[in-house]
Chains A and B, each alone.
Chain A
């Protein structure tokens, strides 16, 4: 009820709200658990993917932003940025059980496909910190450009990509040596990096540049640069941040920040197929494992939009805490 009220007030979500009323069920039959970090509330909201309701809200460290689940699904790792730590949250007991040495101001991170180590972007120190999450120790610190943020890792685990927001580069790091072996200039304020599952392509979003770079992951050359145009939306408001590619590479979804849209991009032609109206200042995205639903965190409207990826429609908005930032979804 609270959600409906909120969406009505926001005005823009009338369509989404009425759709919810008419559909009223989730397209995915599987039950997944969705975790949302609420940056300003210092909490994690837990959502049931079948009912699309918030089942729990749990207090964690200060300014939680990037979150991810460990490969065994037992722990949620939380960048508690203002506590300068990564918290290890036990999803069974719903408690923070320990902290990882993360370096200052951790914002985003990525796990090696094998499940260890963890690569953390430390914005304040121009470093990527490599942490063994089993032994709880720092393995390496890799100096990168100014304000490292986006973190992507190739499916074979050999190449780590970090983007630096003020240097405006994608840094290619060899995970064997923990050294940068190549850099590629991209548009202003690169925020997010994601590889295709086949390891062929790399996607990098540029928030201020307003573009998404599609990069040949092998040659590290730009294939194309995607621009966006939404009728009635100021070009300055189109700020690509979070991005997810389907496993088969056929589609990419990009969160466009204060334009309140998620762009659907054809994975082959790289053309924008559709813009979906979601909540305000859409930030990060996550698929359910069956890829039937995509969850978006909407920072300003304090809610989550749920997208039916087959029908390409927003089916529900779910009210969570203040400034929802990160989204992570259990594998089962």
Chain B
């Protein structure tokens, strides 16, 4: 049982705290039953941040007199963390949240002119906590806009719990293709791309390079198997051939042994590029330079498809990067970008309709008029048949951006962005 004191109360985050890198302002959520009682008893927002002009401390129920408020919840539960193989990239504790806070700040700057204010309530649920119960508790409090970084099953349960309510869910973390296919839900919009979209972005570039023969290496986790599945689908779509496929079964830490293992592991295959499926990063970094034949690495390591990266500076991205870096003392991560985009979408809804009413905001987001400027060189919109955000995908090496997909020459009747991910005819998704 988590002690009560861990449920930290944050009323109006002081601006200097925002400038301190590494400062943890997460509210650690206890197990669900306790959480529900606590929230009810205390009746406060664990993390409420109005940022109109200065930073005004504010508690629930005392909304600013002049501005109409939009309250947004961000719930995260990270189940699978990367192995501590090295101290090179320390995962930031506020990954996701920092993007959300910046977005709230952006929205509030606009809100000043609209007499609208935005507040964020953040809950982080431990891996063994009941994240769905936490969601139910916040819904019971009246929250309607939810940005979620939770596993697919939890997301589906939440969507079903809120089925008949005025609640909109933004999926910021679950990349599972099935959420955009048979397991799609009408009340969920996906900001994060599916694995299929990421794999297609990569496949288009490999096709442009004419690297048609792929050697697929798959890690031992379920997530790796799902990424590999997406890679196989993309290979078929874009005319590539998987000429060899192997499971990496040398165990998790390859640092001392890779030089001996990788050459033998990649011998006896005639391929152009080695595609690796290792989502949490157990071994993928250790393949480069050690393959039997000199071959490039792509996939979850090497040349990587992603939504956001520190090397991205085009289309005004330098401005978002610089604002984020200044505030947080670190670069923006993809999850930060997803949460930022979700909250900006809600902000666009409130700005364009000049209303903070849920029905107006949701109506605009789902309308053909919706467009989000997301620093990707074109507007981002939602696919109406499965709720997926259309977006260009970056292809990046560790320290340099290599390309952005879609690649030239891949055509689509509706939008070039629909050449990536699950297209309408192949998606079983049907909203009632």
List residues of chain B with CB within 8 A of the CB of A166.
106, 110, 344, 373
Contact B113 A188 (CB under 8 A): no
List residues of chain B with CB within 8 A of the CB of A208.
371, 373, 378-379
Q: In the complex, which of the residues B322, B373, B415, B416 contacts A189, with contact meaning CB atoms closer than 8 Å?
A: B373
CA–CA, A164 and B319, complex, Å = 12
Q: In the complex, which of the residues A124, A189, A258 contacts B323, with contact meaning CB atoms closer than 8 Å?
A: A124
List residues of chain A with CB within 8 A of the CB of B22.
none
**Known: A124-B322, A208-B371. Is A189-B316 also a contact (CB below 8 A)?**
yes
**Known: A185-B352, A189-B316, A236-B378. Is A146-B109 also a contact (CB below 8 A)?**
yes
Q: In the complex, which of the residues A147, A167, A188 contacts B371, with contact meaning CB atoms closer than 8 Å?
A: A188
Name which residue of chain A comes closest to B379, CB basis: A208
List residues of chain A with CB within 8 A of the CB of B407.
none
Which residues of B, 315-374, contact A by the 8 Å Cβ criterion? 316, 319, 322-323, 326, 344, 351-352, 371-373
List residues of chain A with CB within 8 A of the CB of B113.
145, 167, 169, 171, 180, 183
Contact B351 A185 (CB under 8 A): yes
What is the distance, in angstroms, from A102's C-beta to the closest C-beta of chain B?
A: 16
What is the distance, in angstroms, from B402's C-beta to the closest C-beta of chain A?
A: 17
Contact B416 A236 (CB under 8 A): yes
Contact A165 B316 (CB under 8 A): yes
CA–CA, A308 and B110, complex, Å = 41
List residues of chain A with CB within 8 A of the CB of B351.
167-168, 185
**Known: A124-B323, A208-B371, A234-B416. Is A167-B316 also a contact (CB below 8 A)?**
no
What is the distance, in angstroms, from A116's C-beta to the closest C-beta of chain B?
A: 28
What is the distance, in angstroms, from B255's C-beta to the closest C-beta of chain A?
A: 39
CA–CA, A207 and B379, complex, Å = 9
Query: Does A303 sit within 8 A of B, measured CB to CB?
Result: no
Q: In the complex, which of the residues B326, B371, B372, B379 contacts A124, with contact meaning CB atoms closer than 8 Å?
A: B326
CA–CA, A189 and B380, complex, Å = 12
Contact A167 B109 (CB under 8 A): yes
CA–CA, A123 and B322, complex, Å = 10
Contact B322 A168 (CB under 8 A): no
Query: Does A246 sit within 8 A of B, measured CB to CB?
Result: no
Q: In the complex, which of the residues A145, A180, A207 contacts B110, with contact meaning CB atoms closer than 8 Å?
A: A145
CA–CA, A88 and B373, complex, Å = 34
- Interface size on A (CB < 8 Å)? 28
Q: Which of A105, A165, A236 has the most CB of B within 10 A?
A: A236
Contact A165 B326 (CB under 8 A): no
Which residues of A, 163-221, contact B by the 8 Å Cβ criterion? 164-169, 171, 180, 183, 185, 187-189, 207-210
List residues of chain A with CB within 8 A of the CB of B110.
145-146, 164, 166-169
**Known: A146-B110, A167-B109. Is A123-B373 also a contact (CB below 8 A)?**
no
Chain B contact surface mostly: helix
List residues of chain B with CB within 8 A of the CB of A207.
373
Contact A188 B109 (CB under 8 A): no
Contact A236 B109 (CB under 8 A): no
CA–CA, A58 and B212, complex, Å = 47
What is the distance, in angstroms, from B102's C-beta to the closest C-beta of chain A?
A: 10
Contact B319 A147 (CB under 8 A): yes
- Interface size on B (CB < 8 Å)? 20
Q: Which of B106, B319, B322, B326 has the most CB of A within 10 A?
A: B319
What is the distance, in angstroms, from B256's C-beta to the closest C-beta of chain A?
A: 43
- Chain A 110-124: CB-based contact to B (< 8 A → 1; otherwise 0): 000000000000011
Name which residue of chain B comes closest to A207, CB basis: B373
CA–CA, A94 and B414, complex, Å = 51
Query: Does A126 sit within 8 A of B, measured CB to CB?
Result: yes
Contact A168 B373 (CB under 8 A): yes
Name which residue of chain B comes closest to A209, CB basis: B371
What is the distance, in angstroms, from B56's C-beta to the closest C-beta of chain A?
A: 16
List residues of chain B with CB within 8 A of the CB of A236.
377-379, 415-416
List residues of chain B with CB within 8 A of the CB of A146.
106, 109-110
Q: Which of A126, A167, A169, A189 has the most CB of B within 10 A?
A: A167
- Chain A 83-100: CB-based contact to B (< 8 A → 1; otherwise 0): 000000000000000000
What is the distance, in angstroms, from B373's C-beta to the closest C-beta of chain A?
A: 4
What is the distance, in angstroms, from B336's C-beta to the closest C-beta of chain A?
A: 16
Name which residue of chain B comes closest to A182, CB basis: B113
Contact B373 A188 (CB under 8 A): yes
- Chain B 373-385: CB-based contact to A (< 8 A → 1; otherwise 0): 1000111000000
CA–CA, A125 and B373, complex, Å = 19
Name which residue of chain B comes closest to A180, CB basis: B113
CA–CA, A105 and B322, complex, Å = 10
List residues of chain A with CB within 8 A of the CB of B323.
124
List residues of chain B with CB within 8 A of the CB of A239.
377-378
CA–CA, A88 and B371, complex, Å = 39
Contact A165 B373 (CB under 8 A): yes
CA–CA, A210 and B314, complex, Å = 18
List residues of chain A with CB within 8 A of the CB of B379.
188, 208-210, 236
CA–CA, A141 and B109, complex, Å = 15
What is the distance, in angstroms, from B343's C-beta to the closest C-beta of chain A?
A: 12
Name which residue of chain B comes closest to A81, CB basis: B318
Q: In the complex, which of the residues B319, B322, B372 contacts A188, with contact meaning CB atoms closer than 8 Å?
A: B372
List residues of chain A with CB within 8 A of the CB of B415.
236
What is the distance, in angstroms, from B340's C-beta to the closest C-beta of chain A?
A: 11
What is the distance, in angstroms, from A262's C-beta to the closest C-beta of chain B?
A: 19
Contact A123 B319 (CB under 8 A): yes
What is the distance, in angstroms, from B354's C-beta to the closest C-beta of chain A?
A: 8
What is the distance, in angstroms, from B390's C-beta to the closest C-beta of chain A?
A: 10
List residues of chain A with CB within 8 A of the CB of B106.
146, 166-167
Q: A105-B319, A209-B379, A239-B378 are in contact. List 6 more A-B contacts (CB 8 A).
A: A165-B373, A166-B373, A185-B352, A188-B379, A189-B316, A208-B379
Can you give 20 A-B contacts (C-beta < 8 A)?
A: A123-B319, A124-B323, A126-B109, A145-B113, A147-B319, A165-B319, A168-B110, A168-B351, A169-B110, A183-B113, A185-B351, A188-B373, A207-B373, A208-B371, A208-B373, A209-B371, A236-B378, A236-B415, A236-B416, A239-B378
